[in-house]
A = this chain, B = another copy of it.
Amino acid sequence: MTERITIKDISKKLKIHHSTVSRALRNSPQVKEETKKRIVKYAKKHGYKVNMNALKLRGTVKNVIAVIVPNINHDFFANIISVITDMAYSKDYIVSVFQTNESIELEKKVLDSVIHNNVAGVIASVSMQTTTSDHYKNLKKYNIPLIMFDRVIDSIDVPKVETDNYDIVAKVVKDLFQKGRDRIVHISGSDKISVFRNRINGYQYMIKKLGIPYNNNYIADNGFTIEEGKLAAKRLFENKIQPNAIICDSHLMVIGVFSQLKEMKISVPDDVSIISFGNNPSLSALTPEITYIVQPVTEIAIASFDLLIEKIKQPDQSSNDKIIFKAMLN
């Protein structure tokens, strides 16, 4: 069980001062080629690797990007993390992931942990319970740049990357109405979260604009699961006035809705049109009856990452850019 080899070890063996070794290993021009070769050769042979922790302590380098999401295990977020990880890697950063499990308590602890670890920057999407923002604002005190994406907090002054939820939902409502659907339900999440609020507002706006009397915004704040989707479908079709179109905010819930309708012998899309947010190619392959609203995941991830890098390089510019992507119907 050998110990990790350090610059000092090399310097001792080669009887060269450790500062020279350091220079040689960074290929400094101010070291004689010959000694440089000797040092590099020895280092390579014995598997010398810089200890990033030392660099981080000195403050010259920070190479960790923290990504905070409600659930890693969720198509959208897994995609985001995947893209960010690749990009980060190509720029010599590594990615640490944090999961809040939709709990604000955990989220607060996570932010503490992020600060402890003195990361280079943070890319975050908030939990379903997050209505206050102090724990995020806290990052500023420690000079840790923050970018928010998708589920953002409006009241916080940082760059944000979002999808135009308002627009797309409004558009969907309009499309449905033009196809003759006049009882359109919107299944959404808590209106305390910006994403869902925007979708709800988009829905309400268009419903009113078109003068549709039926207005039904179903809030599922018990979490987005297949079971909750089934439950929602049951409830919605218990009423006398039954919907003929459903806009669903969750790719998981919509599966529940879909199977429940099948069970109840309600035909999709003949009796009921279904439109759902979702980015999973398997699901869209399997349920062509459902139209999916696809968010540009890759673009969102890239934009978030780029913004963060910018912030890391130029921390002082209080840029509160807001990048808004269009969603698409597939």
Contact = CB atoms under 8 A, between A and B. Distances in A.
A54 B55 CA distance: 10
A57 interface: yes
Nearest to A94: B96
Nearest to A86: B99
A142 interface: yes
Interface string A231-265: 00000000000000000000110011011000000
Contacts of A1: 143, 315-316
Given A282-B226, A286-B287, A315-B1, A78 B86 contact: no
A4 interface: yes
B72 A118 contact: no
Contacts of A82: 71-73, 99
A4 B118 contact: yes
A72 B94 contact: no
Contacts of A280: 282
Interface stretch (A9-17, A108-116, A155-163): A108-116
A222 interface: no
Contact of A226 (B53, B118, B285, B316): B285
A240 B143 CA distance: 68
Contacts of A185: none
B85 A72 contact: yes
Nearest to A258: B286
Interface residues of A, number: 61
A210 interface: no
Contacts of A72: 72, 78, 81-82, 85
A52 interface: yes
Contacts of A286: 255, 258-259, 283, 286-287
Given A78-B73, A97-B81, A97-B95, A116 B50 contact: yes
Interface in A129-147: 138, 141-143
A251 B282 contact: yes
A280 to B, nearest CB: 7
Contacts of A97: 81, 85, 95-97
Given A1-B315, A72-B78, A85-B99, 14 more contacts: A2-B141, A2-B143, A49-B142, A52-B118, A56-B57, A72-B82, A72-B85, A73-B78, A81-B97, A89-B109, A94-B117, A96-B97, A252-B282, A255-B282
20 contacts: A3-B143, A4-B118, A47-B142, A51-B57, A53-B56, A53-B117, A53-B118, A56-B56, A56-B57, A64-B96, A72-B82, A81-B97, A85-B99, A89-B99, A89-B109, A226-B281, A226-B282, A282-B283, A283-B286, A286-B287
Interface of A: 1-4, 47, 49-54, 56-57, 63-64, 71-74, 78-79, 81-82, 85-86, 89, 94-99, 101, 109-110, 112-113, 115-118, 138, 141-143, 226, 251-252, 255-256, 258-259, 280-283, 285-287, 315-316
